Amino acid sequence: MPKDTRTKWEKLEEWLFDHGTQRFSSADVAHAFNCTGHEASLYIQAYLVAQRREDSSALYMLKREGRTSKALWSVGERKPDAHDLGVTLYEDVRVKVRGPFAKDLRQLAARNPRAARYVERKLEAVVEGALTVLAASLDYGDGEDD
């Protein structure tokens, strides 16, 4: 039997073609390819890299709802899918800003009270200012938190 020389992204694309454009998770990919969750994520990441290449021959545009291993993936190619990609970007940035960035700055303020005012200004600028601008530029609601 000849060796399979297809790349991970090509294998995933074939599975997507056969699977249809339904939603899927990394667990679905792991089951389909009889591999670990980590390996399934590598298939998805390989597809994302392929679809983003300038000379991409990928048939689909994957989009994600949610984060981490609980994310649901689907194939998108319509205008609303572009909006969904913007929503995903906003949520990713918000999680990063509200999570580690804010915690690190607050920890700094707790250890150095002289830095507290600076920290609060930075949090205000980034969390309230930058996220609001990002949300507006992506047509994502009014930039308010859920």
pLDDT of 146: 41
Query: Average pLDDT for residues 94-118, to the nearest whole number?
Result: 80
pLDDT for residue 96: 75
Predicted confidence (pLDDT) per residue in 2-48, tens digit:
788 899 999 999 999 888 767 899 999 999 999 999 999 999 999 99
What pLDDT, on the 0 to 100 scale, is given for residue 83? 61
Instruction: Give one DSSP letter per residue of the chain, joined into a string.
Output: -------HHHHHHHHHHHH-S--B-HHHHHHHHT--HHHHHHHHHHHHHHHHSTT---S--EEEESSGGG-EEEE--SHHHHHHHHHHHHHHHHHHIIIIIHHHHHHHHHH-GGGHHHHHHHHIIIIIIIHHHHHHHTT-TTS---
Supply the pLDDT for residue 58.
Answer: 85
pTM attached to this predicted model: 0.57
Is the confidence at residue 73, as pLDDT, over 90?
A: no
